[in-house]
Amino acid sequence: MMEDNSFADGFGGGGGDDAAAAPGERRRSAVLTVPIEVVVSVGKARPVLSELVALRRDSVLPLDSKIEDPVEIMIGDRVIARGELQEIDGETGRLGVRLTEVADLSNTL
């Protein structure tokens, strides 16, 4: 996976001066508290338009994946992790994702 350093210059200050590093660290801390929408992708479908128009309640749209296939966790169009769907303990019907692979994002910010 390619490393994205587009934000790296704005954080951490520079030449070792503690006074200059403090504002950079505050900015980094503020950025790390921003909520991010994460999408869990379970599969894709490629129906023709006539099939889409015919969809009704209780129709089933077949996907290109199987129930045991890993799901992808994405931010925008970037896959940041993969995992397995599972029901959350004590919360009947609620889903979660058990992560099996995670991208190294530590140098992204």
pLDDT tens digits for range 22-38: 888 888 888 889 999 99
Phi (first) and psi of residue 83, to 5 degrees: -170, -170
* 12 dihedral zone (left: phi>0; alpha: psi -120 to 50; beta): left
User: Higher model confidence: residue 17 or residue 41?
Assistant: 41
In tens, the pLDDT along 50-76 reads 999 999 999 999 999 999 999 999 999
All structural domains of the chain, each given as residue ranges with its CATH number in brackets, are: 1-34 (no CATH), 37-109 (2.30.330.10)
* Side-chain half-sphere exposure of 99, counting CA atoms within 13 A: 8
Residue 8 has pLDDT above 70, yes or no: no
Residue type, 34: V
